[in-house]
């Protein structure tokens, strides 16, 4: 059974970026998006000055300063390899989003890092969440996966799609 990471957040978060489950390179390094060909930190560098050229904790701190939280839908699962398609759906234990949403009442936007994260959230999380005024204002958007396995788009094309996060944060000021 693989176990993911805790949520990186502060209670004033306005944006939540959700993956499905950390890949093997991330689990080995105990860092989100640790595979060197994953585009996540390249995109965060371009948008928020939080890229590979900085120590991992500094990258996370920079995201927090921009009021961005980072997590995954899956807390635990069985998976051979790193691909989302290899996750044994019957083995999934989801993260506790109700607690997160209760703590982050300023959260307005949830961005999914790929289709699998969006699908798992819709199937496993959405039906369990309690209604609340803050949840009623949440917007959801699925972005192209930053995984190197999603090779149909270049890093620049992915960056173009992901730039909507910076746009949302600037509009929310």
Assess contact for 165 and 43: CB atoms under 8 A.
no
State the Cα–Cα distance between residues 88 and 79, nearest whole angstrom: 6
State the Cα–Cα distance between residues 82 and 61, nearest whole angstrom: 26
Cα-based angle 25, 31, 33 (whole degrees, multiple of 5): 65
State the Cα–Cα distance between residues 124 and 148, nearest whole angstrom: 25
Give φ, ψ of 165 to 5 degrees. -65, -50
Residue 53 annotated to the active site: no
Name the helix (H) or strand (E) containing 162.
Answer: helix 155-162
Cβ neighbours, 10 Å, residue 81: 10
Residues known to be catalytic: 38
């Amino acid at each position: 059974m693989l176990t993911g990471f805790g949520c990186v957040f502060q209670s004033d978060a306005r944006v939540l970026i959700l993956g499905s489950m950390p890949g093997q390179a991330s689990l080995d390094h105990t860092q989100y998006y640790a595979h060197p060909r994953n585009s996540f930190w390249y995109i965060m560098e371009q948008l928020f000055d939080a890229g590979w050229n900085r120590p991992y904790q500094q990258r996370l701190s920079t995201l927090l300063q921009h009021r961005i939280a980072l997590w995954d839908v899956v807390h635990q699962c069985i998976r051979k390899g790193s691909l989302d398609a290899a996750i044994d759906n019957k083995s999934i234990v989801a993260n506790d989003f109700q607690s997160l949403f209760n703590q982050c009442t300023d959260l307005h936007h949830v961005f999914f890092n790929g289709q699998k994260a969006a699908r798992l959230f819709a199937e496993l999380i959405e039906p369990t969440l309690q209604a609340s005024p803050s949840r009623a204002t949440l917007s959801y958007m699925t972005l192209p996966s930053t995984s190197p396995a999603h090779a149909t788009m270049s890093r620049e094309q992915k960056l173009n799609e992901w730039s909507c996060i910076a746009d949302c944060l600037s509009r929310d000021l």
